[in-house]
């Protein structure tokens, strides 16, 4: 990815909103697609409208060949995402009909993130709670600052938590820690989250952004088809409802072998230079 000074910002707004109102901020810069949760009054908690905006942003990134990696993060310094915006519960989740609409929006956003074939990275600073942690767990990688905290306080609110979300956590930390996280509802430190296997790296608050930028560039410079093949193969291997599709895995490998990128990779190695991959 070349260094480009221009930042393309696409902020979707149904009507003019002040800086304090909730929304997603969507950016593209240097091959990175970025989704920023912006709800500063509520520690970047997700509103119904924010859930509805996520699939559109992810689909746009998926269709853009210039985007090599997607980063999800929170606005400001205090939170990644504090889960669902509880102030909206009375309006959006107080009866079965409203709950169904809300669940559908969350389900579509979650499925779109799950099905994203490009690598996804959660850049976490501050609170990462409830549905916010659920979003982070659906990303491929999680990099957090040392002052981050993690929790799923469902048991403190009387909320049922769906099995897909529980499975995502259980796959990372195992059943004992999954039960502890849900049973206690308490906040866990970044060190505890790292020791459980919930996050990949812990950085100092000052070092987080540079590390994430360097990591994104490193990933973005690698062969997109190889990364895609690994991501989809891991998905197949972690399915519990059915056996892995081994034929799909073989095809993913063949796609890499038949690609121009494989030719470029070989030539670059022989010529002792960095390869320039096109994802084709």
pLDDT band with cut points at 50, 70 and 90 for residue 102: confident
pLDDT band with cut points at 50, 70 and 90 for residue 50: very high
Chain-wide mean pLDDT for the chain? 85
* Terminal C-alpha separation, the chain: 15
pLDDT score for 5: 34
Residues 196-249: tens digit of each pLDDT = 999 999 999 999 999 999 999 999 999 888 899 889 888 888 776 777 777 777
- The more confident residue out of 92 and 9 is 92
Q: Is the pLDDT of residue 34 over 60?
A: yes
pLDDT score for 241: 72
Residues 250-273: tens digit of each pLDDT = 777 777 777 777 776 777 777 777
- CA distances to 81, 149, 157 from 14, in Å: 22, 33, 31
pLDDT score for 95: 67
């Amino acid at each position: 990815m070349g260094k480009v000074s221009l930042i393309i910002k696409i902020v979707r707004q149904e009507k003019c909103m002040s800086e304090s109102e909730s929304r997603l901020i969507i950016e593209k810069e240097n091959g990175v697609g970025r989704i920023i949760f912006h709800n500063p009054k509520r520690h970047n908690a997700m509103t119904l409208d924010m859930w509805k905006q996520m699939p559109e942003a992810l689909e746009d990134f998926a269709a853009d060949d210039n985007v090599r990696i997607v980063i999800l993060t929170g606005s400001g310094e205090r939170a990644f995402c504090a889960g669902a915006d509880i102030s909206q519960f009375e309006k959006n989740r107080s009866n079965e009909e409203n709950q169904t609409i809300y669940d559908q929006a969350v389900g579509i956003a979650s499925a779109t993130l799950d099905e994203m074939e490009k690598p996804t990275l959660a850049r976490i600073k501050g609170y990462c709670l409830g549905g916010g942690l659920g979003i982070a767990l659906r990303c491929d990688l999680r990099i957090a600052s040392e002052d981050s905290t993690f929790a799923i306080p469902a048991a403190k609110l009387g909320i049922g938590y769906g099995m897909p979300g529980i499975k995502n956590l259980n796959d990372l930390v195992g059943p004992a820690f999954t039960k502890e996280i849900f049973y206690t509802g308490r906040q866990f430190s970044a060190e505890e989250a790292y020791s459980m296997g919930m996050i990949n790296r812990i950085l100092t608050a000052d070092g987080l952004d540079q590390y994430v930028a360097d990591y994104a560039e490193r990933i973005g410079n690698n062969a997109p088809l190889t990364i895609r093949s690994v991501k989809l193969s891991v998905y197949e291997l972690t399915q519990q409802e059915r056996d892995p599709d081994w034929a799909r895995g073989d095809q993913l490998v063949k796609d890499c072998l038949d690609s121009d990128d494989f030719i470029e990779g070989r030539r670059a190695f022989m010529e002792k230079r960095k390869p320039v991959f096109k994802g084709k």
